[in-house]
Amino acid sequence: MELKQDSDNNVSYEALELFQPPTAHEAVFQQALERALGKISALVPRFGLRNPRMGIPGTTRYAFCIPDEWVASFWCGQLWLAYSLTGDPHLKNSASMRRDYFRTVLENPRWHDHDLGFLFSLSTVADFTLTGNEKSREMGLRAADFLAARWRQPMPFVMCWNPMLRDGPEFMKRKTGTLNIDSMQAMALLFWAARETGQSSFTDIANMHLETSRQYLVRDDFSSYHAYEFDPRSGEPLGGFTHQGLHDESCWSRGQSWAIHGFAQAYLYTGLSHYREAAAGMADYVANHLPEDGVPLWDYNLPADETPYRDSSAGAVTAAGLYTLARCFGHGAEAQKYTALGDKILLGLVEHCDLTANADAEGLLKEGAAFVGLGRAENMLPYGDYYYLEALMRSVGHTEFFW
Ligand code: GLY
């Protein structure tokens, strides 16, 4: 592998040597993938233009999004992935018909936050990638412009959350200067825009955001803070805290998963070795805190007296991230190690949380934990479904995604 040293900042860039090692459970994962594809096709007429929001507690039915929901693109992303495998025009039509909704998102700047990444990578970028639709490309680029414009000096990151009246004065103030770990996936939209336009400013902003995330969100033991507060006037770092995890110093498992997937993805875009090292260290932390059955609990530091809710969505994002990370190690021994860890988690999901064989279920996975502090646990979640599909595809060797 060729290494090159950047004399200014001592960062090493690597020539990518990519290889996806085979899974040890190909038949099981291929069958689950085929069941998932069958279910997605069957749900197209049932969902129509509605986008799943969260499972209705105690059922296998979904409640659906109202406008301005961060989860609005995960069904669309499943439609595009399923179309990429099957070529079924019904899937393409159903996904394309959602373009008007995403146009509405662009037209409402008050709805814009770091979730522009999820919203547009899985809708218009996916559309352009698979069909070459120019309107979708334009919309993806506009979304990337809006996301990049959320970098406001002196902060060394793009602003993540928007302060809202409903947050109360304290959290509202805090949100103004906060970097969160959920934004890790959003950087792919900026890297994509840089490739499409040749404008290096997109890459510079993404790298700045990722580097700040690496320095402040990732702790020395490779666990992570959900969020980190900075002084909005000076940009001075103030401290880490949680919003959806157990407590400020614990490790929220979905946050950890966003970072593993996000750093592995960033390595593929940039070849910057410290992104791969961050993803690998965080994956090793998961390996040391994973329940025997392979499905993460909602926080990796849950004491025995807390209800051990699983978060299947954290498992799905982590598994997809681990296969991505394994690919980043070429033929190295680490590739086998992270594939084996991805296999353990994905097998745990197939054995304990999979709904693909349940004809009545509107989702692919049960037992997601959206926000335990607000009582949202044991739900189907559209992002759990999307990343489960992505993880199943990656496990059997697919490498073309929308980030
Ligand atoms: N807001 C992103 C998450 O709940 O993971």
Burial class, 169, CB count within 10 angstroms (exposed 0-12 / middle 13-18 / buried 19+)? exposed
Q: Is the CB of 182 under 6 A from ligand 1?
A: yes
Tell me: the pLDDT tens digits for 130-171?
Answer: 999 999 999 999 999 999 999 999 999 999 999 888 888 888
Asked whether 114 lines ligand 1 (CB < 6 A), one says no
Q: pLDDT by residue (tens digit) across 344-399?
A: 999 999 999 999 999 999 999 999 999 999 999 999 999 999 999 999 999 999 99
Is residue 379 within 8 A of residue 369, CB to CB? The reply is yes
pLDDT at residue number 4: 39
- CB burial readout 233-251, b (16+ within 10 A) else e: eeeebeebbbbbbbeeebb
115 is catalytic: yes
Name which of 183, 63, 66, 162 is nearest 111 in CA terms: 162
What would the pLDDT profile of 260-319 be if each residue is shown by its tens digit? 999 999 999 999 999 999 999 999 999 999 999 999 999 999 999 999 999 999 999 999
pLDDT category at 17 given cuts 50, 70, 90 is confident
pTM: 0.96
Q: Which one is catalytic: 68, 100, 113, 182?
A: 182
CA-proximal residue: ligand 1, atom 3 (nearest) = 182
Q: How far is CA 339 from CA 8, 312, 319, in A?
A: 35, 18, 9
Summarised one tens digit per residue, pLDDT across range 162-220 is 988 888 888 888 888 999 999 999 999 999 999 999 999 999 999 999 999 999 999 99
Mean pLDDT of 37-64: 98
Domains of the chain, first to last: 1-47+260-403 (1.50.10.10)
pLDDT band at residue 11 using 50, 70 and 90 as cut-offs: low
Alpha carbons 147 and 167: distance in angstroms, whole number: 22
* Marked catalytic residue, from 113, 115, 127, 299: 115
254 lines ligand 1 (CB under 6 A): yes
In this prediction, residues 2-23 reach a mean pLDDT of 66
Q: What is the distance of C-alpha 337 from the center of its chain?
A: 22
Average pLDDT, the chain: 95
| Catalytic-residue membership of 299 | no
